[in-house]
Amino acid sequence: MTVDFKLYLITDRKQVKMPLVAAVRLALEGGVRAVQLREKDLPVRELLALSQEMRALTKEFGARLFINDRVDVAIAVNADGVHLGHQSMPVEAVRRVVGNTMLIGVSTHDLAEAKAAESEGADFITFGPIYDTPSKAKLGVPVGVKALISLKNELNIPFYALGGIKSGNVSQVLGAGASGVAMISAIMAAEDIKKASSKLIEAITFIDKIICDTCSPR
């Protein structure tokens, strides 16, 4: 299984004004091809039911589905991968459970964490917050675009810029070397989710063409 997407949508049902499944459908219609279900406060049975719905939906669009933290739920719904945070099971342990049948993503906030995730066997990481973002104010000062440049030199796995990403700054982070972009509010809190998604995909495709003619437009 390969990390074959440029845009990584992370869900937050509290930011959408409709059922989450309807919101994610609009994002998929707008061109999103990778979704991380991140609904940390849901009881496991509700999470499982929602994950099943998300699996069916993402399959319809040939999109990747990742489950935040819960390896058991990811396996139960046949997700494409699991996304781990600092309180999750360590990457090595998850790898022993899922082998190479699933992709493992890891949230990181600095270079040391990013390198550790890579050496432990992560397939990709998210990195940030890059910019100010209300949802992660408690994480402290944003790391800024420059941090992506050092990451580019130190890392061999794909890394996704996260935190305050919108269509207007996609060129900055991709230009600094990020493999792709990840976001919550730019899509989840948008008035028109489909349009916001396609605008982001357009921005990625545009800058990708400039950076590398052979990069995939997802």
Pick the catalytic residue: 107, 167, 179, 197? 107
Q: How many CB atoms lie within 10 A of CB 11?
A: 23
Least Å from the CB of residue 166 to ligand TZP: 8
**Residue 216 appears among annotated catalytic residues:** no
**Residue 38 appears among annotated catalytic residues:** yes
For ligand TZP, the closer CB: 39 or 97 = 39
Rounded to whole angstroms, the Cα distance separating 204 from 217 reads 7
Terminal CA-CA length for the chain: 16
**Residue 166 appears among annotated catalytic residues:** no
Least Å from the CB of residue 194 to ligand TZP: 18
Give the rounded distance of the alpha carbon of 4 from its chain centre: 12
Residues that bind ligand TZP (CB under 6 A): 107, 128-129, 133, 135-136, 162-165, 183-186
For ligand TZP, the closer CB: 195 or 209 = 195
For ligand TZP, the closer CB: 31 or 164 = 164
Strands (E), the chain: 7-10, 34-37, 64-68, 81-84, 103-108, 124-127, 159-162, 180-183
CB-side neighbour CA atoms (13 Å) of 48:
8
Least Å from the CB of residue 186 to ligand TZP: 6
Least Å from the CB of residue 197 to ligand TZP: 13
Give the residue numbers annotated as catalytic, written as ranges. 38, 107, 136
